[in-house]
Homo-oligomer: A and B are copies of this chain.
Amino acid sequence: MNGAESLVRTLVDSKVDVCFTNPGTSEMHFVAALDRVPGMRCVLGLFEGVATGAADGYYRMAQRPAATLLHLGPGLANGMANLHNAKKAHSGIVNIVGDHAVEHLKHNAPLTSDLDTVAVPMSDVVIRSNSSRLIAADGARAVTAARTAPGRIATLILPADTAWNDADAPALAEEPPPRPAVESSAISAAADALRSGRKAALLLGGVALRGKALELAGRIAAKTGCSLFAEGLVARLERGAGRVKVTRLPYPVDQALALLKPYGELILVGTQPPVSFFAYPDKPSVTTPPDCNINRLAQIGDDIEGALRALAEAVDALGAAPANVATLDRPALPTGAMNLENIGQALAALLPEQAIVVDEAVTSGRGFPVPTATAAPHDWLSSRGGSIGFGLPCAVGAAIACPDRKVICLEGDGSGMYTVQSLWTMARESLDILVLVFANRGYQILRGELQGVGVSDPGPNALRMLTVDQPVIDWAALARAQGVDATRVTDLAGLIDAIRRGLSTKGPSFVEVVI
C-alpha cells in the first residue's frame, strides 16, 4: 500500500470515518485510496469553508472528529475562517492538507506557499509528514490530538510523495488522556463563593451546557439560589422541555454589563471571564463589575461534570431537584403581520423533538431564544468564533452526524452568502436540513455597531457598505440553482406553511424569509 492508503486506513481504523473534502492534484492519491478502503464517507464541498465548517458541526454533534481534505496553502486558507470558529468551539478536527512533493517545493511552483505558516493560526497542532513510512503514525498522532479534550484542530500536512510512496501497515490512534480532575481547592473556593452571601452565578461553557453536567448545575442553583449563565455563543446547548434553563450573556455590551452588575461572585465552569465581543470607545471590555470575584472551577478541557458533581456535593445539592427546568409550553401559532417576535413564536411552536438548531441569524435571531426555551427538547449551536459563514456548513456537518434528527439552520442573508456553496452539498447528500434565511438585505448588525463605536452620522458611502440590496439577492433562486427545494415567504402564514412543509419532508429545504 502507498502512504495515502495507509493514512486512510489509519483514519478509518481510528474511527475517523467521515471526510469533508475539496481536493486538488496533491490529494489525488488520497482520493484514489478511498476506493480501496471501505468505511470512509466522503462529502464534497464546492468551497473549502464548507468542508471545515461541516467538520465543526459534525464534531459538535458526533463528539468525535471528522477529517477534512484540503489542497495546499490556498485551500487551507479558504477553510481558515471556519477553522477559527471550530477552534473557538473546541471542535476536534483532523485536517489533511496536501502539499507539493518535498523535492518540488524548492522550485516555487505557482501553488507553492508557506503552508506551515498558513496552518499555524487556526490549528492547535501542526504535523508535517515527510515520509510515506511515517504517515500512518503521524496520522494516528493527529487523530489523538484532535480527540484530546476539549477537542483540538490537528492539521496534518501531507506532501504528495508521502502519499504516493510505499508505506507499511496503518496505525491505530491511541486513546487521548482523560479529562483531568479539578483540584479540590477549586471546588472549595467555588463552594465558599456560593455560600458567601454575595450574589453568585455559574457561567457555563463547553460540556457544562449538556447532559448530567447541566443537570448538576441546576441542582446547585436550586440549593444555593445562584444564577446560571451561559456563554453568549454556545458550541452546543441542550435546551427546551426537561432541560435546565440558562441565561445566555447578551451580545450588546450595555445589556451584558447590566445583567452582570449585581453579581459579586462569578464561577467559571468550562469558560473564560466574560468579555465584550468588540471594544467600544469609553466602554469596558470586561463585562463583570470591578468588585466581582472571578472563581475558576474548571477549565474547558477539565472533567467538568466531575467538578460540578463535587461542587454539588460540597454545597449539599446532590439531592436537590434541579432548578429552572423547562416544562413544555409551545406557544400558539402566531397570526398577524410578520415580525421577528412572532417568527420566534412560530419556531417555538413548530420545533420538532430533538431538532438541532444551528443559529447564525445574527440580529434577526436575537429574540428567538426566549420563546424556544420551553419548546420541545433540542440542541442549539452557535458560532463560537464569530466569523460569519458558519451556519450553513455547520448544518451540513450536524446533519451527517445525526441523520435521524432534523437540522434547522437559521441564517442571515449577509452571513449566508459567505459559504452559500453549502446548499449544493445539502442537495447532493440529501441532508435533512431546513434552512431559513432571514433576508433583511444588509449587514444589519453593523448599523448598530456604527453607533456603538461612536459614529452617529453615517453618510451614504458608509451605509452602502452595510446594505445587501441594489441588487436584492433572490435567495430562493440561489438555493434552487444548487438543487435545494426553496420558497420565499413574506407573511407569517406563508412562513408557517413553509416551515411545516420543510419539517414534514426528509431532505433539504429552504425558505427565504423576507423581513
Q: Are A481 and B475 in contact (CB under 8 A)?
A: yes
Q: From residue A99, how far is it (CB to closest CB) to chain B in Å?
A: 10
Taking CB atoms and an 8 Å cut-off, the chain A residues in 278-302 that contact chain B are 278-279, 281, 285-286
With A78-B418, A111-B386 already in contact, the answer to whether A28 and B275 are too (CB < 8 A) is: no
A472 within 8 A of B: yes
Binds B, one of A59-67, A118-126, A338-346, A364-372: A118-126
Q: Which residue of B lies closest to A49 (CB)?
A: B78
Asked whether, in the complex, the Cβ of A109 is within 8 Å of the Cβ of B446, the reply is no
**Which single member of B272, B281, B461 contacts A164 (CB below 8 Å)?**
B281
Copies assembled: 2
Q: C-beta contact mask, A79-107 vs B, less than 8 Å → 1, else 0?
A: 01100110010000000000011011001
Complex interface: chain B residues within 8 A of A104 (CB)? 275-276, 278-279, 285
Q: Is there contact, CB below 8 Å, between B109 and A275?
A: yes
- Some 19 contacts from A to B, beta carbons below 8 A apart, are A24-B449, A25-B446, A25-B449, A28-B446, A31-B455, A32-B450, A34-B461, A47-B417, A74-B84, A77-B80, A88-B110, A104-B278, A109-B277, A110-B384, A118-B121, A420-B420, A477-B477, A477-B478, A478-B478
Partner of A453, one of B88, B160, B452: B160
Could you give, for residues 149-173 of chain A, a 1 whenever the CB lies within 8 Å of some chain B CB and a 0 otherwise?
A: 0000000000011001000000000
Residues of B within 8 A of A108 (CB): 272, 275
Which of A233, A465, A474: most chain B Cβ within 10 A?
A: A465
B-contact bits for A38-76, CB 8 A (1 contact / 0 none)? 001010101101000000000000000000000011110
Q: List B contacts of A77 (CB < 8 A).
A: 77, 80-81, 84, 121-122
Residues of B within 8 A of A453 (CB): 25, 28-29, 160, 164
A178 within 8 A of B: no
Contact B74 A107 (CB under 8 A): no
In the complex, the answer to whether B35 meets A103 with C-beta atoms within 8 Å is no
| A161 surroundings in chain B (CB, below 8 A) | 279, 281
In the complex, the answer to whether A42 meets B164 with C-beta atoms within 8 Å is no
Q: Which residues in B have their C-beta under 8 angstroms from that of A174?
A: none
- Is residue A114 within 8 Å, beta carbon to beta carbon, of the partner chain? yes
A272 to B: closest C-beta gap in Å: 6
Partner-contacting stretch, out of A210-218, A327-335, A421-429: A421-429
Known: A31-B462, A276-B109. A483 touches B455 (CB 8 A): no
Report the separation of the CA atoms of residues A101 and B81 in the bound assembly, to the nearest whole angstrom: 20
Number of contact residues on A: which range applies? 35 or more
Q: Please, which residues of chain B bring their CB within 8 A of the CB of A418?
A: 46-47, 78, 421
Which of A273, A462, A472 has the most B CB atoms < 10 Å from its CB? Answer: A462
What residue of chain B has the Cβ atom nearest to residue A447's Cβ?
Answer: B28
Which B residue's beta carbon lies closest to that of A81?
A: B74
Residue A195 at the B interface, CB < 8 A? no
CB distance from A388 to the nearest CB of B (A): 8
Tell whether A44 pairs with B111 under 8 Å between CB atoms, given A101-B279, A118-B80, A160-B279: no
A211 nearest CB across to chain B (Å) = 24
Nearest CB in chain B: distance from A486 CB, A: 10
Distance between Cα atoms of A35 and B466 in the complex (Å): 14
Instruction: Select one of B74, B110, B421, B461 contacting A35, CB under 8 A.
Output: B461
Q: Is A185 engaged at the interface, CB distance under 8 Å to the other chain? A: no
Q: Which residues of the other chain, B, contact A197 by a CB distance below 8 angstroms?
A: none
CA distance A448 to B327 in the complex (A): 59
Q: How far is the CA of A418 from the CA of B419 in the complex (A)?
A: 9
